[in-house]
Structure 1
Amino acid sequence: MHDEAMIAVVDNDESVRMALDSLLRSTGYTVRTYAGAHEFLFSDGPVITSCLISDIQMPDMDGITMYEQLAARGIHIPVIFITGNPYAQRPPGKSAHTPIAFFPKPFATDKLLACIETVLTRPD
């Protein structure tokens, strides 16, 4: 199942992107990384992604706004937010779909992997 799942990582911090890329690839996932929300939104990422891991605070556009833009386009990807600022968590706008989880940085990788596995194995 892992080889069919595309995990997108959106974070302006290159070290976080590379660490998540390495972790996820080591467990068998296909991964694409993006340095910001605009880069993700204007790529083929939204249509090929099975699960999105996104930072909340990024300079070009915050992760919640990116999530809301995806929902406005009718694209409903399960999103796991990561953040270095626990006060950055604000509820997304009105959408039938809600983010799966919020993980503060640094996060426990085993919990993140378990969350991804739950997202990918749940029925739609």
Structure 2
Amino acid sequence: MTWKQCTVFVADDDKSVLESLALLLESAGYQSRGFGSAEELLASGSVQNACCLILDIKLPGMSGLQLLQVLAASHTPIPVVFITGHDCPGIEAQALGLGAVAYLRKPFDEQMLLDAIHPYCVN
């Protein structure tokens, strides 16, 4: 399998998480763009160029779940991997029910994250 030019968009309000994920993704051969909020990601105007999204559930303003709902309503089918440090009962089922491809609790195994995005970032 060959890698395609793949940009993974990451939305997390913790700058250290954004930085560490950027390093992880780069080391695995992916390009990434980080955003501090769902609104910032949407305002970029380029969400449709992402091969997948890594979203924190709890973001300032619009939550990761709300962003997934907005994307679904606008018929923008992009695979979403949720990450969270604030797990609440029922949220995982809700996220997967909305179409998320994975739901990982922080701290998560880096290889699990890479395995979750890999199918969407290869030819």
Shift of 1:44: 2.5
**Corresponding position of 1:55:** 56
Shift of 1:27: 1.1
Could you tell me the TM-score, scaled by structure 2's length? 0.88
**Corresponding position of 1:104:** 105
Contact kept in structure 1, 2:4 and 2:121, CA below 8 Å: no
The SS at the match of 1:4 is: coil
RMSD of aligned C-alpha atoms? 2.0
**Corresponding position of 2:46:** 45
Structure number with higher relative contact order (C-alpha < 8 Å, ≥ 6 residues apart)? 2
- One-letter amino acid matched to 1:8: F
Number of residue pairs matched? 120
Moved over 2 A (4+): 118-122
Shift of 1:47: 1.5
Is residue 2:97 matched to residue 1:86? no
Q: In percent, how many aligned pairs have the same letter? A: 34
Contact kept in structure 2, 1:54 and 1:63, CA below 8 Å: yes
Is residue 2:117 matched to residue 1:116? yes
**Corresponding position of 2:76:** 75
Shift of 1:4: 1.0
Contact kept in structure 2, 1:3 and 1:28, CA below 8 Å: no
Shift of 1:3: 4.8
In 1, the alpha carbon distance for the partners of 2:17 and 2:103 equals 16
Is residue 2:1 matched to residue 1:28? no
In 2, the alpha carbon distance for the partners of 1:6 and 1:85 equals 26
Could you tell me the TM-score, scaled by structure 1's length? 0.88
The SS at the match of 1:31 is: strand
Structure 2 portions without partners, runs of 5+:
none
Contact kept in structure 1, 2:4 and 2:122, CA below 8 Å: no
Structure 1 portions without partners, runs of 5+:
none
Shift of 1:121: 4.3
Aligned CA distance change for structure 1 residues 116 and 33 (closer, same or farther; 3 Å): same
